[in-house]
Chain A
């Protein structure tokens, strides 16, 4: 949960470098210039706010079976209704949003961290190490994430929880960032100011963290958001296939229960609609955030919008 908050907190630091003028006018300018970033940020912020504030109105135990009368449509007592097993769906959605984000953030951060490290090592070392990594990433990227995850998750299914799902997804989440950031590092290494720093005798670490990292930030941000979004996608895919954590009410798990307990036949529209709407807000928000960050990282895209 703290990790998801940090993802949201890290994001606004980026446009500040684009629109250095602080204050309300600066924010308005950034908003006019980059609407997809702002709309995406707003959607994600609203979602997190809903989940964090909702916790004060819903107990953790209400998100489990037999805590409420089953199959109740939304009304005054159960504002989101209850499912066929007697879970209070308000509690399920509140905690599920956080749990689903937790999986995404664990896998996204681990994937980005591992990927960035590998990218720097490969790009700096060059030669055979770089070649081996490039080929490995190329081969692994050909294999769809979901299929590999199915193989791994199916053998440890009995002992799985949201943290382990996050870690399993991270096993594959480093590929895309590793490739993207490697090419970016190769470009940056040729930049004049980096060459100047090398001539000045700066250490590699100093160059990486003080010269390259600041310029990579929007790029890393975009990669992190993509990684989180793909991790959430992979997690709900696993959950739909019945490989999720059965004891934790994530959004994907809610959809799995809804499908397997024939909510469609029973006409329980609230059970169907609620997790889907939250997931759509989440995916669209992350997508817009990525588009916005891409525009910041790659100014050429900005011209196209005009």
Chain B
């Protein structure tokens, strides 16, 4: 297929995903019995007396989405806001913008997710390749069933077990949070160590549960690749084992893995939201939980939309890695 066509198709897909997600956010609360957003703001106004100036929020909301406006113009106003990255204000914490909340939490989530996904992908792929490679130590084959079974367990159940063992019983690592209560963020080695110490358990629970996925699929691909004629040819040429493993085996077998990586990002993201929750890790998942507890609908919708967009973009990027690694796609697109 033509490379430009692939990119165009993926871009259209991205736009469709963002449109579906934002439309969903707009219509779900309006289809529900007795618009819950307005109920929540009413309740907030009635409690009154709090430090939060809800009246200003209600005013701003009515100007845009008031009952006197037809649904279509409400929808258009909403879409206009979305296109300008305006996700509105927090209901329970009024002057704070939803985008501010998201931007504060995002680095934590990205840091945890990026590191663990990359590690799991690399370790799992390598392990899967070695587990069927003729002449590799049998140890690698032996740990496949265990990893496979662990991949069936949701991340956060692992998290709970790890907390119990390492934080409650052994007390080696902190129970949760992103850093110690008394720590001040600074650019020091001690602080970096503290951050690392707090992310070991959440990271480990994602890692333990997701390595198996990569191992399993790589195993299948590597087994197929090993049976190919060009592998026999490479052996006949007298190429070194290392060269045959890396350049001939791994290089070919890794391509479907990258497609799988794009497809599984959503699963990893959902899983890590819950892991953050379990560990009280100060990322997006924790903010989502807090928003749900407070029925802070704008924050819920903002976070959901931001995550769906981020995910769609990440999938696009990963999908575009494939043509870069696969000379066949590049070659064909040049010919076309």
Contact, CB under 8 Å: B288 / A150 = yes
Tell me whether A138 and B152 are in contact in the complex, defined as CB-CB below 8 angstroms, given that A144-B270, A147-B307 are known contacts: no
Instruction: Give A278-294 as 1s and 0s: 1 = Cβ < 8 Å from B's Cβ atoms.
Output: 01100110111000000
Report which residue of A135, A155, A233, A241 has the largest number of chain B beta carbons within 10 angstroms of its beta carbon.
A155
Contact, CB under 8 Å: B164 / A154 = no
* A236 CB-CB contact with B under 8 Å: yes
Measured CB to CB, the closest approach of chain A to B180, in angstroms, equals 17
* B204 CB-CB contact with A under 8 Å: no
Interface stretch of the complex, out of A62-70, A115-123, A187-195, A264-272? A264-272
Measured CB to CB, the closest approach of chain A to B156, in angstroms, equals 7
Measured CB to CB, the closest approach of chain B to A242, in angstroms, equals 5
Contact, CB under 8 Å: B168 / A267 = yes
A165–B304 CA distance with the chains assembled, in angstroms: 19
Interface residues on B, range: 35 or more
Q: Which residues of chain A come closer than 8 Å to B312, judged between CB atoms?
A: 142
Q: Which residues of chain A come closer than 8 Å to B273, judged between CB atoms?
A: 146, 237, 241
Measured CB to CB, the closest approach of chain A to B260, in angstroms, equals 13
Q: Which residues of chain B come closer than 8 Å to A150, judged between CB atoms?
A: 288, 292, 300, 304
Tell me whether A144 and B308 are in contact in the complex, defined as CB-CB below 8 angstroms, given that A139-B16, A150-B300, A276-B157 are known contacts: yes
Q: Which residues of chain A come closer than 8 Å to B311, judged between CB atoms?
A: 142-144
Contact, CB under 8 Å: B270 / A143 = no
Tell me whether A144 and B25 are in contact in the complex, defined as CB-CB below 8 angstroms, given that A151-B301, A242-B293, A264-B175 are known contacts: no
Report which residue of B25, B152, B168, B288 has the largest number of chain A beta carbons within 10 angstroms of its beta carbon.
B152
Contact, CB under 8 Å: B17 / A304 = no
* B177 CB-CB contact with A under 8 Å: no
Contact, CB under 8 Å: B28 / A151 = yes
Which chain A residues (249-306) contact chain B, with CB distance < 8 Å? Answer: 255, 259, 264-265, 267, 269, 272-273, 276, 279-280, 283-284, 286-288, 304
Which chain B residues (310-329) contact chain A, with CB distance < 8 Å? Answer: 311-312, 315
Dominant SS at the B interface?
helix
Contact, CB under 8 Å: A139 / B300 = no
Which chain A residues (124-144) contact chain B, with CB distance < 8 Å? Answer: 135, 138-140, 142-144
Contact, CB under 8 Å: A304 / B266 = no
Measured CB to CB, the closest approach of chain B to A166, in angstroms, equals 18
* B153 CB-CB contact with A under 8 Å: yes
A269–B167 CA distance with the chains assembled, in angstroms: 12
A140–B24 CA distance with the chains assembled, in angstroms: 11
Contact, CB under 8 Å: B270 / A284 = no
Contact, CB under 8 Å: A233 / B154 = yes
Q: Which residues of chain A come closer than 8 Å to B220, judged between CB atoms?
A: 304
B311 to chain A: closest residue by CB = A144
A259–B20 CA distance with the chains assembled, in angstroms: 34
Tell me whether A155 and B36 are in contact in the complex, defined as CB-CB below 8 angstroms, given that A148-B24, A284-B152 are known contacts: yes
Q: Which residues of chain B come closer than 8 Å to A280, judged between CB atoms?
A: 153, 157
Contact, CB under 8 Å: A287 / B308 = no
Dominant SS at the A interface?
helix
Measured CB to CB, the closest approach of chain A to B326, in angstroms, equals 21
A139–B9 CA distance with the chains assembled, in angstroms: 12
Interface size on A, residues (CB 8 A): 42
Which chain B residues (29-70) contact chain A, with CB distance < 8 Å? Answer: 29, 32-33, 36
Tell me whether A156 and B32 are in contact in the complex, defined as CB-CB below 8 angstroms, given that A143-B266, A276-B160 are known contacts: yes
Measured CB to CB, the closest approach of chain B to A43, in angstroms, equals 11
B308 to chain A: closest residue by CB = A143
| Selected contact of B274 from candidates A135, A151, A240, A286, CB within 8 Å | A240
Instruction: Give A197-241 as 1s and 0s: 1 = Cβ < 8 Å from B's Cβ atoms.
Output: 000000000000000000000000000000001000100110011
Measured CB to CB, the closest approach of chain A to B166, in angstroms, equals 11
* B7 CB-CB contact with A under 8 Å: no
Q: Which residues of chain A come closer than 8 Å to B149, judged between CB atoms?
A: 284, 287-288
A272 to chain B: closest residue by CB = B164
Contact, CB under 8 Å: A144 / B152 = no
* A243 CB-CB contact with B under 8 Å: yes
* A152 CB-CB contact with B under 8 Å: yes
Q: Which residues of chain B come closer than 8 Å to A286, judged between CB atoms?
A: 152
* A145 CB-CB contact with B under 8 Å: yes
Measured CB to CB, the closest approach of chain B to A97, in angstroms, equals 15
Instruction: Give B219-256 as 1s and 0s: 1 = Cβ < 8 Å from A's Cβ atoms.
Output: 01001000000000000000000000000000000000
Contact, CB under 8 Å: B152 / A269 = no
Measured CB to CB, the closest approach of chain A to B227, in angstroms, equals 11
8 nearest A-B residue pairs (beta carbon): A287-B152, A144-B266, A155-B32, A146-B270, A155-B36, A147-B304, A139-B16, A144-B270
Q: Which residues of A contact B (CB under 8 A)?
A: 135, 138-140, 142-148, 150-152, 154-156, 229, 233, 236-237, 240-243, 255, 259, 264-265, 267, 269, 272-273, 276, 279-280, 283-284, 286-288, 304
5 pairs, CB–CB < 8 Å, chain A vs chain B: A143-B266, A154-B295, A155-B28, A259-B160, A288-B149
Q: Which residues of B contact A (CB under 8 A)?
A: 13, 16-17, 20-21, 24-25, 28-29, 32-33, 36, 149, 151-154, 156-157, 160-161, 163-164, 167-168, 175, 220, 223, 266-267, 269-270, 273-274, 277-278, 288-289, 292-293, 295, 297, 300-301, 304, 307-308, 311-312, 315
18 more CB-based (< 8 A) A-B contacts, given A142-B266, A155-B28, A236-B154: A139-B13, A142-B13, A143-B17, A143-B21, A144-B308, A144-B311, A147-B304, A147-B307, A155-B297, A233-B154, A264-B164, A272-B160, A280-B157, A284-B153, A286-B152, A288-B149, A304-B220, A304-B223
